[in-house]
């Protein structure tokens, strides 16, 4: 039941926003009563936090797995991270959108926790860029901080327009983005 509530909530938060979705809305869709909701969650915010944690923890775990792979170059790892981010928006688009849009509705304390985790993710990417510089895979005058923000912007922003069943697949988009970042668009 707790899981069913969470799933339904993700759908509604994504469609209408957190503040615009009432507990009543959520439980109506599941044909249970508000009491039931409060049996499983102590507050609406706790539910939102659960959703956020579910998303970021999953993303961090996948990033970890990619970075751990021994016999891959930094370029290859960069592609895989880009692909992972795009494809996670394909498979868990609603969670992703809730994640990016609704952080402000968390309590100050919870928000801090999440911002820390998000910063860890970005920092790992920045370190990958630095490692690539050391290994002469990337330009040595690369601003790894700004560039990491740029790459994340490209991929994260895709939740605004990327459609799972659109013209381009997640793999194609990831390829185009990685090409752009690696080789540039200029002749």
Partner DNA sequence: AATGAATGAGCCTTCATTCAT
Partner DNA sequence: TATGAATGAAGGCTCATTCAT
- Binding footprint of a copy of itself on the chain (CB under 8 A): 16-17, 19-20, 75, 101, 104-105, 129, 132, 136-139, 142-143, 146-147, 149-158, 160-161, 168, 172-173, 176-177, 180-187
- Non-local (6+) Cβ contacts of 62 within 8 A are 84, 88
Other C-beta atoms closer than 10 Å to the C-beta of 76 total 14
The one of DNA, a copy of itself, none whose footprint includes residue 156, by CB under 5 to 8 A per kind, is: a copy of itself
CB of 171 to a copy of itself, least distance (A): 12
160 burial (CB, 10 Å; 0-12 / 13-18 / 19+) is exposed
CA 76 – CA 66 distance, rounded (Å) = 10
The one of DNA, a copy of itself, none whose footprint includes residue 105, by CB under 5 to 8 A per kind, is: a copy of itself
Other C-beta atoms closer than 10 Å to the C-beta of 155 total 21
- Non-local (6+) Cβ contacts of 176 within 8 A are 168
Among 15, 17, 20, 164, which residue interacts with DNA (rule: CB under 7 A)?
20
Segment lying near DNA (by CB under 7 A), choices 14-22, 110-118, 124-132, 172-180: 14-22
CB of 5 to a copy of itself, least distance (A): 21
Both tokens assigned to 59: 């993303």
Query: Within 58-117, which residues bind DNA (CB under 7 A)?
Result: none
Question: For residues 38 and 157, which CB has a smaller minimum distance to DNA in the complex?
Answer: 38
Query: Within 30-49, which residues bind DNA (CB under 7 A)?
Result: 32-40, 42-45
Segment lying near DNA (by CB under 7 A), choices 18-26, 90-98, 141-149, 168-176: 18-26
Length of the chain, in residues: 187
CA 181 – CA 168 distance, rounded (Å) = 18
Question: For residues 48 and 151, which CB has a smaller minimum distance to DNA in the complex?
Answer: 48
């Amino acid at each position: 039941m707790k899981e069913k509530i969470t799933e339904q909530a993700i759908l509604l938060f994504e469609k209408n926003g957190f503040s615009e979705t009432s507990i009543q809305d959520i439980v109506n869709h599941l044909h249970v009563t508000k009491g039931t909701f409060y049996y499983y969650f102590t507050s609406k915010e706790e539910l939102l936090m659960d959703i956020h944690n579910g998303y970021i923890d999953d993303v961090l775990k996948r990033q970890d797995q990619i970075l751990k792979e021994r016999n891959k170059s930094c370029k290859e790892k960069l592609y895989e991270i880009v692909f992972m981010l795009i494809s996670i928006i394909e498979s868990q688009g609603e969670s992703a959108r809730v994640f990016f849009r609704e952080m402000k509705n968390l309590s100050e304390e919870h928000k801090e926790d999440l911002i820390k985790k998000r910063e860890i993710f970005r920092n790992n990417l920045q370190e990958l860029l630095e490692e690539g510089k050391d290994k002469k895979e990337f330009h040595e005058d690369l601003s790894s901080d700004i560039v990491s923000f740029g790459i994340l912007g490209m991929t994260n922003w895709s939740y605004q327009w990327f459609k799972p069943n659109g013209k381009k697949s997640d793999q194609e988009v990831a390829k185009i983005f990685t090409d752009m970042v690696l080789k540039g668009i200029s002749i």
